[in-house]
Amino acid sequence: MSLEQQISKGIMEAMKAKDTVRLGALRNAKKYIIEAKTAGPEIAELPDADVLKIIAKLSKQGTDSAAIFTAQNRQDLADEELAQVAVFQEFLPKPLTADELEAEVKAVIAEVGASSMKEMGRVMGIASKRLAGRADGREISACVKKLLS
């Protein structure tokens, strides 16, 4: 079952269970999936990699919003955002630890044969695609800089 189908099934289950937080989060994800499907040439189903990007983006936005709400002493809104982020996290792959990230980046550097900061772009291109959804772009970039300098 594809990720898009899992989200649609999750919407139905959330409706039956009257779980408003889960329903809202999954409907929001479904909205972005439909927008992505209709933005370019019409496709029947979005690939799982693209769905993961959408869910990761929504998760990051929710986390950032919760931090802003907490800074503004609006814990009620922050809790809502974090509850939706928890729903998104169920669909995302387990994030890499710092050691796992470093090992993956070392493998990419060896594969590319990079030895200086001049080749950071090539390493980042491959590493970003390979680690999509499992590591943040900033974390990947920091690790690549550390290993190439």
Q: List pLDDT tens digits, range 80-121.
A: 999 999 999 998 888 888 899 999 999 998 888 888 888 888
Question: What residue type is 6 in one-letter code?
Answer: Q
Please give the pLDDT value at position 39: 82
Which residues in the chain land under pLDDT 50? none
CATH code for position 115: 1.10.10.410
Q: What is the pLDDT of residue 119?
A: 86
Q: Are 56 and 93 spatial neighbours (Cβ–Cβ below 8 Å)?
A: no
Residue 29: closest CA among 91, 119, 77, 83: 91
How much is the pLDDT for 137? 84
Residue-number span of the structural domain to which 135 is assigned: 98-148
Measure CA 66 to chain center: 16
Mean pLDDT, all residues of the chain:
90
Helices (H), 2-119: 3-17, 20-39, 48-71, 75-89, 98-112
Of the three residues 64, 89, 114, the one that is the final residue of a domain is 89
